[in-house]
Structure 1
Amino acid sequence: MSTTDAGIPAITLTEAELGRYVTHAPTRGLLTGPGLPADTGLLTFSTLRTYGLRRLADATDGPLHLAEELRDCLVIGELLNPAGMARESILLDGATGEITTTYLAAPAAPRPFAPSLTTLLRFAAVTEELTGLRGRFASLAGQYGPRAATEASRRLLTLFEEGTDGRVPAYWKAAALIRPLSLVAGPGTASGGLALEVPARLLDQEFGQGRVARFEDVDFPATLTHEPTRRFLRDTGLPEEAVLFHADADAPLPTLTEYVTGDCSGTRPLPELPAHADHLIRLGRLIEDTSLVVDGRTGAILTFSESGATLHPLNTDVSTLAFTLWLLHHERTIDEHLANELTTAAYDQLAAAMLHTLTTLDPTGLSPDAHWHYWTRLLQDEAGGAL
C-alpha cells in the first residue's frame, strides 16, 4: 500500500494486496491507479492504512456466524457519522465492484450504497459541492428559502439518479432530501440580532394558519430583556405544537420561578431552581418533566429538567429553535410521501443526515458545554420514534 500527495492524499493498493479477492477489473484499476482519498466530508478510507484490505469474516469481532456470501466482502472504509453515532463500515464486493454498508459489531444484511467505487466517489464529491455551494451548486450561493432548498434537492437527486437507473440507495436519498434543507433559513444579520433569518410565514406554511403562537409585549415578563427574542416571538412566533414540543400559548409567559412555584406546586416536590431562575422564561415543554426556557438576558435556549433540576443548552436562540421544530416536522412530511421508506429502511442514516443539517445551522449540540443535548439524543433514539 502507498499514498501519494496530489492535493488530497490518495490510498493505493498493489496487485499483490488485491490478490484474488478483487477480480473486478475497473475496481482493480482504480485501487492500483488513482486510488481512494483518505477522507471526504462523508466517508473515510483511512482504515485501509491501518488494517489493510480485510475480509468481513476477518474484521468482525467474536465468533459471528456470517452468511457464506458475506464472508469475502472486503472492508474498505467507514461512514463519517456525527459524533456519538456508531460508524457504519463500507464493504466492497471484489467480484462485482458493488458497494454496500453494514456494522462490524453486528453485521446484518448489507445495505446498498453504490453500484461501484467510481460512482461512490462521485456521489461523495457532488454532496460536498452542495455543502460548499460550489461546482454544480455555485449558482445557489447567497440564496435562501424553501425555493432554494427545493432546487438544491432536485439537482442533487438528479445527480444521484445518473448511473443508478433511478434507484438511489437510502443513504443518498436522505442526503438529497434532507441536507439541502439547511438552505431554508439564511444567516442572521447584525440588525436582526439572531443566528438565522427565518423566512416570513415559513412556520404558518408548515404547521398551518392559526397554529403558530405569536405573543404581545404584555405576555413577556420584565426579565425578558433580549430585544431580538422579543421581536421574534412577536413577529414570527413558534408552533403551538410540534414534534414533542407544546408551547405556552394560552397565558403570559412565566419565568421559571413563577412556573415552578405556581403551576407545579402541589403536584410533586418542587425542584431546586437555578440561581438565575427569574431570568429564565418558560416557552413550553418538551417531554412531561422537561421545560423549554429562554434566557431573558442572552436569548439562549435551554432545557430544564424538573426531576433532575438541571439546565442543558438546546439552541443558540429562538430562530434556531424555530428552524429545528420546522425541520423535525418537515422530515415527517417528506418520509410520509416516500411511504416511510427512510425511517423503516435506514433510520440511522436518516438521523445522521438530520443531525448534519441541524448542526450546520446551529452547532449547540457540538459545544463542549453540551454534555447532554436533547435534539441529539432525540434523533439518535430510533425506539423513541422522533422521525
Structure 2
Amino acid sequence: MGATDTAGTSVITLTETDLDPYVTHGPTRRWLTGPGLPGVGALVTFEALRADGLRTVADATGDHPADLLPAGLRDQLVIGGLIGAEGPRTESVLLDGATGEVTTTYFLHDRPGLMDRRRLAPSLEKLVRFATAADELAALRGQFAAYAGRFGPEVVDRASAQLLALYEAGSDGGEVPPFWRLTAVIRPLALMAGPGTRSELALDLPPRLLDEEFGARAVVRFEDVDFPAALTHEPTRRFLREAGLPEECVWFFLDTDAPLPTMAEHVADDPAAALPPRADSLIRLGYLLEDTSLVVDGATGAVLAWSEAEAVLRPLNADVSTLAFTLWLIHRERSLDAVHDLTEAYDQLADAMSRALAAVDRTACDPAPVGPTDDGRRYWPQMFEDEAGGGLYA
C-alpha cells in the first residue's frame, strides 16, 4: 500500500499484492492501484484503509466467531467510515471485493448477528464522484462555484436538482442510495439565507420566508410595547418587529399571552425557582421543553436555552435570525420527508440536518463549552438525533 500527494491531498493506492486475495473485481482492482482513494473528505474517510490495510468484517469483529455474522457480511472489506457533522462516526464503509459494490454498516460487537448493510455506491469510482460533488457544494467550488455569493429559494432548488441529477446518473437504475438522496435534498437548504448585511444579524433571510413556510397567520410579529427595557439590541428588536417568529414549530413554542418578560420577571411569583446569571437582562421568548426556556440576551442578541431542572444556561443560536432559520429548516425538512422519504435513514438525516444548520450557525452545533457551567450539549443536534421523539418525521 502507498500514499502519494496530489495537489496537497494524500491519495491511498494499493499494490496488486495488497489486493490478493481480497479483491477479484477487475475495475475495482484497477481503481485501487490507479487513481486510488482520497484519505479524508468532508463526508467519507478512508484512513482506516491506510492504517489497517484490507481486512474483512470477520477480522474486524475481533474475538467473536465469524459464524455469528450474517453470511453476506463476513467477507466484506472494511475500507473507511462516514464522517459526521462533529467528526468521525461509527458507521463503517465496506467494499465487496467480488462485485465492487460499496455499502455501510454499524459494528455491533456485542450483537454481531444483528449487523446489516446499507447501500452507498455501486463502485468506488462512483463513491469518489458522489463525495467530491458533495464537498464541492459545501465549499461552493468546482461544479458548484457558480452559486458562490448567491442565496434564496431559486438557488436552493437549482443546487439540489443539480446534485440529485448527478447522483441519479451514477446510481444503478437511477435509484439513489438514501445517504446521497438526503444529502442532495438537505445540504443545499443552507443556501437559503446569506450573511447578514441589511439585518445586522448573522443572516439576511429572504423577505417573507417564514410567512410562506408557516403561513402568515402562524407568524407572530411584535411591537415596541412588547419589549422590556432590557432588550436594547436594536437589530433583534427590528427583526422581531418586521420578520417575527412562528408561534410554534415541533420543539419550539413562542410566548404570546403577554409582553415579553425578563427571566427575573418570568419567575417573580416563584421565589424558589432557579435563575440564570444576569436574569434581568435575559428576555424569555418562549420555551423548548416544559422546563427549558428560550431566552435572548437583551444586550447582545445571543439566543440561549435555560434549563430550569439543571440550572444550566447553554448557547442555542447565534441570534434570532439563525433561530428563525433553524425553525424554517425543521419545518421544511418535514415537508421534504413526505416527498423523498428522508427518514428512511434517520441517523444519516439527523447528521445532514446538523451540517446544514452548522453551515449558517456554528453556535447552534459547536459542542465547545463557552463557560464554566456549559457541558457542551446542544439542543438542536440532540433533538435531530431523537428518533424516538419523531420530530423529523413528516
1:170 aligns with 2:173: no
Deviation digits for residues 216-257 of structure 1, max 9, x if unmatched?
000000000000000000000100010211101232101111
What residue is the counterpart of 2:33 in the other structure? 32
**1:52 aligned partner, one-letter code:** G
What residue is the counterpart of 1:386 in the other structure? 391
SS at match of 1:9: strand
Q: Is the 8 A contact 1:223 1:279 kept in 2?
A: yes
Alignment counterpart, residue 102 of structure 1, candidates 93, 105, 110: 105
- How far apart in 2 are the matches of 1:216 and 1:187? 25
In the superposition, relative to structure 1, how do residues 13 and 376 fare at CA in structure 2: closer, same or farther (>3 Å)? Answer: same
Deviation digits for residues 172-220 of structure 1, max 9, x if unmatched?
001000000000011111x522000011110011111210010000000
Q: Is the 8 A contact 2:342 2:349 kept in 1?
A: yes
Alignment counterpart, residue 275 of structure 1, candidates 269, 274, 277: 277
**2:85 aligned partner, one-letter code:** P
Same amino acid, percent of matched pairs: 57
Displacement of 1:163? 2.7
Alignment counterpart, residue 215 of structure 2, candidates 208, 211, 231: 208
What residue is the counterpart of 1:369 in the other structure? 369
What residue is the counterpart of 1:9 in the other structure? 10
**2:298 aligned partner, one-letter code:** G
What residue is the counterpart of 2:373 in the other structure? none
Q: What root-mean-square deviation, in Å, do the aligned CA atoms of Structure 1 and Structure 2 show?
A: 1.5
SS at match of 2:90: coil
In the superposition, relative to structure 1, how do residues 298 and 118 fare at CA in structure 2: closer, same or farther (>3 Å)? Answer: same
Displacement of 1:367? 5.0
- How far apart in 1 are the matches of 2:188 and 2:63? 40
1:141 aligns with 2:148: yes
Deviation digits for residues 104-132 of structure 1, max 9, x if unmatched?
23562200000000000000111112112
Displacement of 1:84? 7.1
- How far apart in 1 are the matches of 2:62 and 2:268? 53
SS at match of 1:281: strand
- How far apart in 2 are the matches of 1:186 and 1:84? 25
SS at match of 1:324: helix
In the superposition, relative to structure 1, how do residues 84 and 99 fare at CA in structure 2: closer, same or farther (>3 Å)? Answer: closer
- How far apart in 1 are the matches of 2:229 and 2:34? 68
Alignment counterpart, residue 224 of structure 1, candidates 226, 231, 236: 231
Q: Is the 8 A contact 2:276 2:306 kept in 1?
A: no
Q: Is the 8 A contact 2:82 2:88 kept in 1?
A: no
Q: Is the 8 A contact 1:261 1:270 kept in 2?
A: no
Q: Is the 8 A contact 1:175 1:353 kept in 2?
A: yes
SS at match of 1:200: coil
What residue is the counterpart of 1:113 in the other structure? 120
Q: Is the 8 A contact 2:367 2:378 kept in 1?
A: no
Aligned length in residues: 378
Displacement of 1:273? 1.1
SS at match of 1:87: strand
Displacement of 1:284? 0.4
Displacement of 1:61? 4.5
SS at match of 2:267: helix
Range with bigger deviation, 2-11 or 284-293: 2-11
**2:349 aligned partner, one-letter code:** L
- How far apart in 2 are the matches of 1:207 and 1:250? 20
- Report runs of 4+ in structure 1 exceeding 4 Å deviation: none
1:90 aligns with 2:93: yes
**2:186 aligned partner, one-letter code:** I
Displacement of 1:144? 0.7
What residue is the counterpart of 1:346 in the other structure? 345
Displacement of 1:282? 0.4
For structure 2, which runs of at least 5 residues remain unmatched after alignment? 371-375
Q: Is the 8 A contact 2:383 2:391 kept in 1?
A: yes
Deviation digits for residues 283-315 of structure 1, max 9, x if unmatched?
001011111000001100001111122211100
1:322 aligns with 2:324: yes
**2:25 aligned partner, one-letter code:** H
- How far apart in 1 are the matches of 2:212 and 2:315? 28
Displacement of 1:138? 2.1
1:20 aligns with 2:27: no
Q: Is the 8 A contact 2:367 2:377 kept in 1?
A: no
Deviation digits for residues 113-161 of structure 1, max 9, x if unmatched?
0000000000011111211222222222211111111111000000101
SS at match of 1:88: strand
Q: Is the 8 A contact 1:61 1:104 kept in 2?
A: no
Displacement of 1:83? 2.2
Displacement of 1:275? 3.2
Q: Is the 8 A contact 2:239 2:321 kept in 1?
A: yes
For structure 1, which runs of at least 5 residues remain unmatched after alignment? none
What residue is the counterpart of 1:73 in the other structure? 76
Q: Is the 8 A contact 1:82 1:352 kept in 2?
A: yes
Displacement of 1:92? 0.3
- How far apart in 2 are the matches of 1:234 and 1:135? 40
